[in-house]
A and B are shown apart, each in its own frame.
Chain A
Amino acid sequence: MDVTPSAAAPVVRLIEEFHKLPGVGPKSAQRLTYYLLRASQDEARALAQAILEVKEKITFCSICQNVTDRDPCLICANDERDSSLICVVEEPLDILALERTGSYNGLYHVLHGVISPMDGVGPEHLKVEELLERLKGGSFQEVILATNPNLEGEATAMYLDRLLGPLGVRVTRLARGLPSGADLEYADDLTLTRALEGRQEMS
């Protein structure tokens, strides 16, 4: 990477470390580094501590595979949640998005990825076995497949549906249609088709 070769070695090292982070380009890495140079000792230490703590204390929940600092995680341990519902998501961040809506009160299962044959990612690389074990042992009535509505997400949902079919549990998929605030004229055919199929009675 071409950082200013004249910068002191520790500065260059920090810039390089920041540069490795997703979404951080060379200029952002330099900005972050020079910000920290000017920040107080405490601020820098707090950041370093926070990073270390995440790595040391965070593990995966043995039930839902979400990231957590306690096992089982807060959601799995909460008995006020509806334990007959399980929502399958690709990544832990998807749980944050769903929780933000406040309209779901069931449990989750994180796959940690999505089937992507071209990248060599198959079901064996995901937490699919763990999901099957949970469903066989639990009293779930419905599995909500909440993978992303793109090709890989759909492939994963279809694959899971095939796998879960014999278990006799109800398998549903998140609705796919038009986002609020969108223009019909810009919608693609697939989305519009799905929106038509999933139309609902005005009440």
Chain B
Amino acid sequence: MTTPRIYKTEAIVLRQRKLGEAGKIVTLYTPNYGKLDAVAKGVRRPKSRLGGHLEVLTHTTVMLAQGRNLETVSQAQTVESFGGLRADLHRLSRALYAAELVDRFSPERAESYHVFQLLLATLRRLVSAKNVDTVLRHMEMQLLGLAGFQPQLARCVNCERALAAAASYFSPDAGGVLCPACGPEAGESRTLSLNALKVMRLLQSGSFAEVSRVRMALPLAQEIEMHLRAYLIHVLERDVRSAAFIDRLRREDFWQPAGVSS
């Protein structure tokens, strides 16, 4: 598809970095052009007409002009600013994590309407969801599927036999679940409880509405998060940096009474 010299598109701002005196390079995720970088001139000046419409985690409509290397943003208008995310550190930390995941999983200019929709839905859910971590687990599993890294949860990745209703093993290396017989043989596998396996299957194939009805005790949620995080790091071959901030907020809440944050 040839793109006109100046074109209009929806976008979600994934990240920003400073450029020159007062400019920024914004990384946008668009429904039709995938992930792309664009120069936004002068947005660090208070009187910039663009700046506020290009903040990280804003759903916006932009006019882009094609450049030799990077596009230039000529106009921007906020569609949704997700104010609820910005007013709550826990929600914000999860939203940044979601944006980082999409950034890491998306090559430049590889169009994926589904990834755009997933990110948009995730941000909307994070604004109001009771359990923000469930939102992330569902998003992670869906994103893995869209990116072609869906873990095998139906049968043992080694012997390919259907899994019995029992505790098994999860191996990021092998790309899925190992049965009780094959699990101990594999080097990098960790035990996976039956409940965790069930929830992970639901995360993979269920809608968010179904997933959000599941009540999980903390140890179960932690087990699933541990397996998914190990798998994501294996697939991406690097850490997801924003996870450290989420971990830190959790740690500090442990010794600080709830309600301290305003």
| Residues of A179-201 whose CB lies within 8 A of B | 179, 181-183, 186-191, 193
* Interchain nearest-CB distance for A156 vs B (Å): 10
Contact B256 A162 (CB under 8 A): yes
Contact A188 B261 (CB under 8 A): no
Stretch at the interface among A12-20, A57-65, A112-120: A112-120
Contact A189 B260 (CB under 8 A): no
* Residues from chain A with Cβ under 8 Å of B261 in the complex: 158, 161-162, 165
* Residues from chain B with Cβ under 8 Å of A181 in the complex: 47
Q: How far, in angstroms, from A150 to B93 measured CA to CA in the complex?
A: 15
Specify which of A117, A162, A165 is in contact with B96 (CB 8 Å cutoff).
A117
Identify the closest chain A residue to B80 (Cβ): A189
Known interface pairs A118-B241, A119-B241, A122-B245. Does A23 touch B20 (Cβ–Cβ under 8 Å)?
A: yes
* Residues from chain A with Cβ under 8 Å of B195 in the complex: none
Identify the closest chain B residue to A188 (Cβ): B52
| Residues of B78-112 whose CB lies within 8 A of A | 78, 81, 83, 86-89, 92-93, 96-97, 99-100, 103
Contact A118 B46 (CB under 8 A): no
Tally the A-B contacts, defined by beta carbons under 8 Å: 83
| Residues of B246-262 whose CB lies within 8 A of A | 246, 248, 252, 256, 260-262
* Residues from chain A with Cβ under 8 Å of B262 in the complex: 161-162, 165
Interface size of A by CB at 8 A reads 31
User: For the complex, would chain A's binding face be called helix, strand, loop or mixed by DSSP majority?
Assistant: helix
Instruction: Determine if B57 is an interface residue (Cβ-Cβ < 8 Å).
Output: yes
* Residues from chain A with Cβ under 8 Å of B56 in the complex: 150-152
Q: Bin chain B's interface residue count.
A: 35 or more
Q: How far, in angstroms, from A182 to B53 measured CA to CA in the complex?
A: 15
Contact A122 B248 (CB under 8 A): yes
Q: How far, in angstroms, from A119 to B15 measured CA to CA in the complex?
A: 10
Specify which of A117, A187, A193 is in contact with B93 (CB 8 Å cutoff).
A117
Known interface pairs A120-B241, A166-B260. Does A189 touch B89 (Cβ–Cβ under 8 Å)?
A: no
Q: Digit string of B41-68 for contact with A (CB within 8 Å is 1, else 0)?
A: 0000011010111011100000000000
Known interface pairs A151-B56, A189-B81. Does A159 touch B242 (Cβ–Cβ under 8 Å)?
A: no
Listed in ascending order, the chain A residues whose CB lies under 8 Å from chain B are 23, 115, 117-120, 122-123, 150-152, 154-155, 158-159, 161-163, 165-166, 179, 181-183, 186-191, 193
Listed in ascending order, the chain B residues whose CB lies under 8 Å from chain A are 15, 20-21, 46-47, 49, 51-53, 55-57, 78, 81, 83, 86-89, 92-93, 96-97, 99-100, 103, 241-242, 244-246, 248, 252, 256, 260-262
Sample of 25 A–B contacts (CB below 8 Å): A23-B21, A118-B15, A118-B100, A120-B241, A120-B244, A122-B248, A123-B248, A151-B55, A151-B86, A151-B92, A161-B261, A162-B89, A163-B252, A166-B256, A166-B260, A179-B47, A182-B47, A183-B49, A186-B49, A188-B51, A188-B52, A188-B53, A189-B83, A190-B55, A190-B81
